[in-house]
Amino acid sequence: MKKRLTLVLTMLMLVIGMAFTAQAATKKPVCPKRQTVYFNYRSLTPIKNASSVIYIKNLKKSAKITDCKFSNSTVNKIVEAYDGLHVRKGADAKGVRLWISSESGTLKDGMQSKLTFTVEQDSKKYKLSCIVTFKEEPQIFKSLKICGQECAETVWKPDFFRLAYEDFAKKKGKIKVRMNSGLKLKKIEVEYVAQYSGALSRKTIKNGGKITLKKGGKVMWTAITITYKHEKRPQYYSDMHIGDADYEGIFLTDTFTIRI
């Protein structure tokens, strides 16, 4: 009797397990119906924050994303959309990666376009789409004081490249950063850069800490890099893990570099 009961329970558990497995295998990939992607042409590096990935739920590592295309021909020229799964070997499932190139044209604030793509998963093809709205990244600094001089508005101008060393009355002082809502300051780095050999020295300083601006001799300019984190996550956001390395929050983190 006990053997029969054990056999029945074993069979029942197998059936339930198979049902759960089948259910997990049939989950369809889904993406946000709408997403806002923020861009700017001020940063010295292309935008790479969380908004530039259209994250897909129920996406497997073995999946493939193909036929990425925007309905707007202008957006198609400026924004490259591609399989974000296989950008780096061993990366967890992510979604469609967007790369904005200023060399191919300029996006207009509020420009909207429908992104369509195909997901190949479990021998099936799924047609997905997302309405993407492109918006200029809002001012990130509530205040940015360098050696007693307020610089927030200056560095956020569209034609900003660098601050003039000569415009600072004081070359020694403190740096104080206040981020706007939704952003969190992570660290401030200062480096003194030579024309051909790159960084002569680099150090991390505390917010409100002392800073010295240098120019002349081997030093061509002082570079200040501010690393900050976006606290709001896009729909279906997931952290990335590559091999044994943990890249938690890599796309939530961004940088802004100022040359003086």
Cα separation, 42 vs 158, whole angstroms: 6
Tokens of residue 111, six digits: 């420009």
Taking Cα atoms as reference points, which of 45, 97, 36 lies closest to residue 227?
45
Q: How many residues does the chain have?
A: 260
Q: What is the DSSP letter of 72?
A: S
pLDDT tens for each residue of the chain, 260 residues long: 555 555 545 565 654 555 444 444 578 999 999 998 887 766 544 454 556 788 899 988 788 899 999 999 888 888 888 787 665 544 555 788 887 766 666 788 899 999 999 999 999 999 999 999 988 888 899 999 999 999 999 888 766 778 898 999 999 999 999 999 999 999 999 999 887 766 678 899 999 999 999 998 888 889 999 999 888 888 888 766 544 444 455 567 888 889 99
Task: Say if residue 255 is exposed, middle or buried (CB neighbours under 10 Å; 0-12, 13-18, 19+).
Answer: middle
The two three-digit tokens of residue 156, written as one number:
């956020």
Residue-level pLDDT at 45: 46
Token couple for 148 = 């007693």
Which pLDDT belongs to residue 120?
Answer: 93
Hey, which bits of the chain come out as E strands? 34-39, 53-55, 64-70, 79-83, 95-100, 112-121, 124-136, 141-146, 149-150, 172-179, 183-194, 198-205, 210-212, 221-230, 240-242, 245-247, 253-259
Name the residue ranges covered by the structural domains of the chain.
34-136, 141-259
Q: Please tell me what DSSP assigns to residue 76.
A: H
Q: Which helix (H) or strand (E) holds 78?
A: helix 73-78
The answer to whether the CB of 239 falls within 8 A of the CB of 253 is: no
Between β-strands 34-39 and 124-136, what pairing exists: parallel, antiparallel or unpaired?
Answer: parallel
Residue pair 119/29 in contact (Cβ under 8 Å)? The answer is yes
26: Cβ contacts below 8 Å, ≥ 6 apart: none
Measured distance CA(136)–CA(224) in Å, rounded:
23
CA distances from 160 to 97, 152, 192, 214 (A): 27, 11, 20, 20
pTM, 2 dp: 0.75
**Bridge-partner residues for 212, per DSSP?**
172
Domain 34-136 has CATH 2.60.40: yes
Please tell me the predicted confidence (pLDDT) of residue 245: 44
- Give the Cα separation of 21 and 42 in Å (integer): 49
- What pLDDT, on the 0 to 100 scale, is given for residue 50? 56
How far is 79 from 39, CA to CA, in rounded Å? Answer: 11
For residue 231, give the 3-state DSSP assignment.
coil
